[in-house]
Amino acid sequence: MAHRRTVIAGTVLGGALSALAPAGAHEAAGGQAEGRGSERLMDEVARAARAIRDELAHEYSFWEIAAVREQMQTFLRANLKFPDFVEVGSDVWQRAYDWHVRFQQPINLGRTAEGRYTILLLATTVVMRPDMAPGFIGLGYDNR
């Protein structure tokens, strides 16, 4: 016995796939041409499914702060602690801010003595350096 959900999902998928077929595809030259069209259609569906899968994986990969985390991990391996500071460009700083907003993390903003904006990311203060390239990520360093 087929479950209701399977029948509905199959019907919806079948309808979506049939909508992608060009008009008159069944009436066109049959046999091999129809087989190639079917293969091409299945390739398009597979590509779309992979794109959706990749987008969903990208959604939870923390891509916004991945580069900053790499610098922090490098410092951690070398010094057995997180760095006190990492200097970054304006785009990287904005992505760190957006990450806090998106995942509803507390936002601890501040300013340095030179007037540069800071945001606390994990145990490290990320310092915005608008005078550097927007994608700049410096090496982590301590307060000393």
Domain ranges of the chain: 4-59, 66-128
Cα–Cα distances in Å, from 126 out to 36, 66, 98, 129, 135? 54, 13, 13, 10, 13
φ/ψ bin of 24: left (φ > 0), alpha (ψ from -120 to 50), beta (otherwise): left
How does residue 29 score in pLDDT terms, banded at 50, 70 and 90?
A: very low
Asked if pLDDT for residue 133 goes beyond 60, the answer is yes
Q: What number is the average pLDDT over the span 27-32? A: 52
- The Cα 74–Cα 68 span in angstroms is 10
Contact 97, 107 (CB under 8 A): yes
Alpha-carbon gap, residue 42 to 24, rounded angstroms = 18
One-letter amino acid of 19: A
**Closest C-alpha to 118, from 96, 141, 144, 142:** 96
Flag whether pLDDT at 32 surpasses 70: no
The whole-number average pLDDT for the span 72-79 is: 94
Q: Is-above-0.85 flag for pTM? A: no
| Range from 16-20, 53-57, 129-133, 140-144 carrying the lowest mean pLDDT | 16-20
